[in-house]
Amino acid sequence: MTPDYNTLLLAIGLSGFCLSATLFASWLSARVERFLLSWAIGIGIIVAAVGVYSLYVENAGIGITCLAFVLQFGGFAFIYGAAYRFRTSRRGRWRIAAVFLASSAVSIPWIPFGLDGVALIALNLVIAATLVATAWEYWLGRAEAPLPLTGIVTLYVLVATSFVLCAGVLLEQRQWSIGHAPDNWAENLNLIAAILGITGIGAMSLALNQWRIAGAHQRTAMTDALTGLLNRRALFDRYGEETVFAHRAAIAFDLDNFKAVNDQYGHAAGDAVLKCFAEVLVEACGTGVCIARLGGEEFVVVMDRAVLDRVARVAERIRADFAARLIPIGKGSINCTVSAGIAFGSDTGLSFDALLSNADKALYTSKHNGRNRVSLAA
């Protein structure tokens, strides 16, 4: 092997070590995104594999060859597991084990029979397939962060292509048994692609982690902690500056006698009632509807493409479903009711504040007329 080849191996080892340490430190700082830990472990194993491979270059014995293969398969299996965990938030231990065992079974048995060239062809193809599978996991989750994830997928595919080229050269030259590390243009290209891949994928993975953290903070700021619905801030961020026309409606809800529930049964019971009503809202409204908790026992539903019959039907279903619910409280259960008010935008347009104000007026009409009913704003 040329000095340049050994230099490239050293560059891969150093860049991989730095990336593994950075990823581990990023995970250690919060211990939330565990895909970073899997990534760090995978890259760390790859660094060890590079070290063993440099020994294999000098002396391609059976033992050192098998160890170099095993470490590479383990490292890339963990990298695949990190992608799976990123997309699904599941551990994926069985997938990591399956990738590792399948890769080893396809490649390593050829080595004791002196067919190390065949083993190297299998190794390159198996690693390429693992990298493509890793890219596919990120591609499936690209909606979360399209730009960095598209970049990560592209780099994984490019590195996978370099491994396919390595296998292709060995196949073309019919090198079934070579007795030493392969030395050709594809191997050099593969090392360069690996350096670019480690550097680029590492940088984008760290950016992706920051993107996810920022998104989590934003969701926390926009979500009501008790019910999981949008909060007042999120509602007004979405609609506060818009002019509301006749196709949009708001339904204001207020739980009846909620203070009495807190006074008689305690705040834990009150929280249970609020969460139960939030569940009723989600079940009744389905998708494409904005549901928010304004604060306390006040909620609002905003509907687009709204017609009176549909909006009234949804409001009435929510009222009836909630009144029929038995809410577990300690060793018993209670019933609660809710009052609602419906308001529509106008043909000439009005502010979102005005829409909510009209819905509140209709809500107070329901309260005044005996509660547990739905009223329409004038």
Helix (H) or strand (E) segment spanning residue 351: strand 350-351
Contact in structure between 250 and 268 (CB atoms under 8 Å): no
**Residues facing 290 on adjacent strands:** 302
Contact in structure between 80 and 134 (CB atoms under 8 Å): yes
Contact in structure between 307 and 259 (CB atoms under 8 Å): no
What separation in angstroms does the CA of 252 have from each of 11, 222, 278?
Answer: 63, 19, 13
Contact in structure between 364 and 341 (CB atoms under 8 Å): yes
Q: Which of 33, 137, 187, 297 is catalytic?
A: 297
Contact in structure between 292 and 299 (CB atoms under 8 Å): yes
Helix (H, G, I), strand (E, B) or coil at 305: coil
Question: Please, which residues have CB within 8 angstroms of residue 89's CB and are 6 or more apart in sequence?
Answer: none
Exposure string (b/e) for 307-328, b if CB count within 10 Å is 16 or more? eeeebbebbeebbebbeebebe
Tokens 């962060």, residue located: 145
- Residue 325 in tokens: 């619910």
- Residue 14 in tokens: 């150093």
Helix (H, G, I), strand (E, B) or coil at 89: coil
Is 241 a known active-site residue?
no
d(CA 21, CA 147): 25
Question: Please, which residues have CB within 8 angstroms of residue 313's CB and are 6 or more apart in sequence?
Answer: none
d(CA 80, CA 99): 8
d(CA 213, CA 37): 15
Determine the residue type at 149. Answer: L
Residues belonging to the active site: 297
